[in-house]
Structure 1
Amino acid sequence: MGRGKVELKRIENKISRQVTFSKRRSGLLKKAHEISVLCDAHLALIVFSTKGKLFEYASHHSSMDKIMERYERYSYAERQLDSESHQESWDMEYPKLVARLEILQRNMRNYSGEEINCLSMKELHHLEQQLEIALKRIRSRKNQLMLESISQLQKKEKAIQEQNKMLAKMMKEKESRDAMEVVEEQNPGEALVQFPSNPCPYPSLSIGDGQFSAMEANRRSQSRPDLNSGMPAWMFTHFSD
């Protein structure tokens, strides 16, 4: 059976991880030596363990310092080349940006009505169309803002009217209460007087065969003087009759 595929992931066991590092490091150094000898390659290998220990290898016909110096020169040349390429790209892009800026500035002056004498009929027609489109957008936005403002003012007006109605109602109720209080202060007992259904406060009396009211007896007693007999005057009227 063939060897199964090993999943590449960090070994959790510390001892197994250290053993694997030692084996793989030895194999890596062996492969580096082989490629250096077989292919006559200038090779440098640097490895740091998890504890920070350094392991390095350089090809037999060179040294680590020479290889690193060569690497620095190459890297610097690459950076210079990239910088020069970016500079060349910028040198080519800068005139384009300047020309575009000049066109935009000229269009802004044309939109404001300046420097239009040198424009052709076609350019003037295009400028007129652009201005008409801009005016339509401006008017549309203006109308929208006006409608929104009118709607807000109508809402405020309605709220003020409702408030005025409520205040008028409250004032009317207050005036009614004040008027009732004034009437009660001027005639404190008028509202409490209740007249009986019988207008005569005297009960009717019945003596002998005749019947007459106490009011009639009172009237007759007032027409005749009392004889100081201790009897009421209405009895004298009865006896006289």
Structure 2
Amino acid sequence: MGRGKIEIKRIENSSNRQVTYSKRRNGLIKKAKEISVLCDAQVSVIIFANSGKIHEFCSPSTTLVDMLDQYHKLSGKRLWDAKHEHLENEISGVKKENDLMQIELRHLKGEDISTLTYKDLMVLEEALENGVSALKAKQMEFVRMMRKHNEMVEEENQNLQFKLKQLHLETMDDNVMGTSTHPHHQGVYDHHHGAAAATAGDYEAQMHHPFAFRVQPMQPNLQERF
């Protein structure tokens, strides 16, 4: 039995419709490739899915733009509407404006000014002076910001040094207090203090005693008798 004839109408089932679209799209692109190779023909295929996704094929020896230009020339029909023509004009205007800006930039650099008139040179000089003034103002603003930043850093540094000094003094005070209040240290301190006091008292007593100091002669038989 031969294949049954399929009625050409929209497939209502979304899954079946997507499967049919994928199969037939691939078939069209395959046929386009085959006729391009077998017949040395220039072929271009553009397919848009209902989701907006584009699928295309163009013969390797040409581009899609060349194919459209050739179609315009041979058929006399243009695929560009008024919106696209307006966009093309806008692009041309942007290109011209860019060219003028490039010329002005070269003039500001001092290039290609031999053809300028006196009036043009005056305008250029005024623009350069305004630019220099704006540049100096920006530099002064930057200097003020850097100076303020340095002052803040210096002030913070001084505060840190003061806090560090205070912490050092507090640490020394704590060490002194800990040494004097420790029982062992206190006993050592009292012992030495008492020994020093006793030595001082003996020295004072000897100074007041009439026979505190005696001269010991070299010969024992020569000792004085009192």
Normalising by the residue count of structure 1, what TM-score does the alignment of the two structures yield?
Answer: 0.39
Which of the pair has more CA radius of gyration? 1
Normalising by the residue count of structure 2, what TM-score does the alignment of the two structures yield?
Answer: 0.41
